Amino acid sequence: MPRFSSKRRVRHTAPQMFDLVADVERYPEFVPLCQALKIRERTPQPDGTEIVIADMTVSFKLVRESFTSRVTLDRPNLKILVEYLKGPFSNLENRWTFEPKSDADCDVGFFLSYEFKSRMLALLMGTMFDAAFARFSAAFEKRADVVYGKPGATPT
C-alpha cells in the first residue's frame, strides 16, 4: 500500500495552519488534482471536535474519480483525521498534525496511505497520485503565504 509522510517547519502558527487545512471547501482552489469538493454534512461534537462528511472529485487528464470521506477536525488538539467512506479506494487514511514551535511557526505533519480497489486504476493513477501527494504539504504552505501573508514581508 503506497504511503507518504512529511514533516515541515512553516512560518505560520499552528492554529493558522489548522484553519487552512480545515477549510476543505477551498481545496479546489489550490490542492493538486482536486477538481471539486462538496460538504454533505458538518456536525459539531460535544468534545470540541467537528465531523465533516465531504465528497471530493479528483481529476487527471481523462481520469476523474469521486470519493467520500469523514473528516474529524480536532481543534483542541490541533489534529485532523480523514477516513475513507466510499469510492475507488479499498483504503485511504490521511492525518495532519500541527505542533507549535514558537509564536510564529509550527511543524506540520502529513501522513497518507491509500490503495485503489481496481488494479487498472492503480496503474493509471498511482504514479501521478504519488507525485501529487508529495506536493500537498508545499501547496498548503504556499496557500498559507497567500492567506496570512509571506513571513517577513512588510505590508504595503
Domains of the chain and CATH, by start: 3-148 (3.30.530.20)
Mean pLDDT value of segment 91-117: 91
What's the pTM?
A: 0.86
Mean pLDDT value of segment 85-96: 90
Q: Alpha carbon 109 to chain centroid distance?
A: 11
pLDDT of residue 112: 86
Phi/psi of residue 145, nearest 5 degrees = -65, -35
Q: How far apart are the first and last CA of the chain?
A: 48
| Residue closest to 136 by CA, chosen among 36, 5, 10 | 5
Which pLDDT band holds residue 126 (cuts at 50, 70, 90)?
A: low
Cβ–Cβ under 8 Å, residues 25 and 153: no
